[in-house]
Amino acid sequence: MSHTETMIEEAVNFSLNENQVMIADMIRKFGEEHIRPHMMEWDEKQIFPLQCFKKLGELGLMGVLVPAEYGGSGFGYFEYVTAISEIAKIDGSIGLSMAAHNSLCSGHILQFASEEQKKKYLSKLATAEWIGAWGLTEVNTGSDSANMLTTGVKDGDHYIINGSKNFITHGVSGDVAVVIVRTGEKGDSRGMTSFIVEKGTPGFKGGRKENKLGMRASETTELIFENCRVHKSQMIGKEGDGFVQAMKVLDGGRISIAALALGIAKGAFDASVKYSRERQQFGKPIGEFQAIAFKLADMATKIEAAELLTFQAAELKNRGEKVTKQSAFAKYYASEISVQVATDAVQIFGGYGYTKDFPAEKYFRDSKLCTIGEGTSEIQKLVIAREILK
Ligand SMILES: Cc1cc2nc3c(=O)[nH]c(=O)nc-3n(C[C@H](O)[C@H](O)[C@H](O)COP(=O)(O)OP(=O)(O)OC[C@H]3O[C@@H](n4cnc5c(N)ncnc54)[C@H](O)[C@@H]3O)c2cc1C
């Protein structure tokens, strides 16, 4: 058997492993008790439910990929995909925050920080004693992040950071942030460096909170740096490594956004199936109209395909192989079909789909973020095309 055949043979294993089953059960119970009763209020009022994340930390879900030696659960990407998608079936906002904390902040430290930094920060992040943020995006540089303007200027044993980051998940509530700033020439991919900055560091603060369409319980804010002095011991890796590190972090992070999109699509689909059986028009359940039944068939097919792409990327990641193209496939496809499935769900619910008394409208609003965060769909296509044409 060729390497590819072996990979396909092993990757196409449809049964969940014991840990995935355990995680899915745990999240279902946790979600019914601690998320579902409150989620519409969190959504309406844009409340970031810190206590909920502390509880998720107790369950090991805020350090899914962090090895046990640093206080984490020590699982691989299969378990991680299951965790994010099961949470997102209930509430996408909680899934987004979990993904940002696990993949971006902790993921960056896990992949690139020194042993000393890992011991210091991962133990707190994995238990959710601390909430993590990750700052790459700026007001004028989102997709074009290599042109960032926030600077870190060397001053003896310190770097003085000035500028701001935009759209940062947990920018205010985060206890620590990994930030990527420009230490060299503008636009030079080797001109950026990552630093770990703790809350309370003089000159560092959270800023304005965004008022968002969806994912409203996930906090999104500015990060502001005004002559913020950060000791060189807070640098992750070497000066100039920041952008390359960030791109690798996003390769993994995109698998979690695919999982997030998948979970939202599954939640919208499950609600649609239930409603199609219950809602009667013209004397029969609407699911008996072929127009609705075919919609369900299309939704289910797209979800299955997205799941296969997501677990294919997870499998490669578990093996430590390069995952740039596969995580872009998964992120691009899962997020696009998530929006399509959630849109179909609103249609199946009819007028009730347009109200907040039924779940469809929230899936619809939450799903859209997945085609934007951690690289838009257009950027995923650029990544895929670049890999193909190499
Ligand atoms: C809820 C939320 C949470 C977020 N969390 C974080 C976080 O924790 N940390 C962080 O660093 N960032 C975060 N982001 C930022 C997110 O990653 C960016 O919004 C995203 O990368 C897009 O950047 P932009 O918004 O500046 O859009 P732009 O880059 O301005 O894009 C605008 C449009 O132009 C298109 N476009 C841009 N360049 C090209 C191109 N070369 N070819 C074709 N089309 C192109 C885009 O696809 C898009 O349709 C978050 C965003 C949101 C909304």
Q: pLDDT (tens digit, 9 = 90+) per residue, 28-37?
A: 999 999 999 9
- Closest ligand 1 atom to 378 CA: 47
Give, for 314, the enclosing helix (H) or strand (E).
helix 290-318
Predicted pLDDT at 15: 85
d(CA 251, CA 378): 15
Distance 312 CA to ligand 1 centre (A): 25
Q: Map residue 390 onto helix, strand or coil.
A: coil
Which residue is closest in CA terms to ligand 1's atom 6? 168
Digitized pLDDT (tens) for each residue of the chain, 390 residues in all: 445 455 555 555 668 999 999 999 999 999 999 999 999 999 999 999 999 999 999 999 999 999 999 999 999 999 999 999 999 999 999 999 999 999 999 999 999 999 999 999 999 999 999 999 999 999 999 999 999 999 999 999 999 999 999 999 999 999 999 999 999 998 899 999 999 999 999 999 999 999 999 999 999 999 999 999 999 999 999 999 999 999 999 999 999 999 999 999 999 999 999 999 999 999 999 999 999 999 999 999 999 999 999 999 999 999 999 999 999 999 999 999 999 999 999 999 999 999 999 999 999 999 999 999 999 999 999 999 999 999
Q: Over the stretch 176-233, which tens digit does the pLDDT of each residue have?
A: 999 999 999 988 999 999 999 999 999 999 999 999 999 999 999 999 999 999 999 9
Distance 143 CA to ligand 1 centre (A): 5
Distance 376 CA to ligand 1 centre (A): 6
Q: Annotated active-site positions, please? A: 374
Measured from CB, residues less than 6 Å from any atom of ligand 1 are: 100, 104, 134-137, 142-143, 167-169, 212, 215, 220, 369, 372-376, 378-379, 382
Q: Map residue 238 onto helix, strand or coil.
A: coil
By CB neighbour count within 10 A (0-12 exposed, 13-18 middle, 19+ buried), where does 5 fall? exposed
Distance 303 CA to ligand 1 centre (A): 24
Which residue is closest in CA terms to ligand 1's atom 22? 142
d(CA 197, CA 62): 19
Predicted pLDDT at 7: 52
Three-state DSSP string of 150-186: CEEEEECCEEEEEEEEEEEECCCCCCEEEEEEECCCC
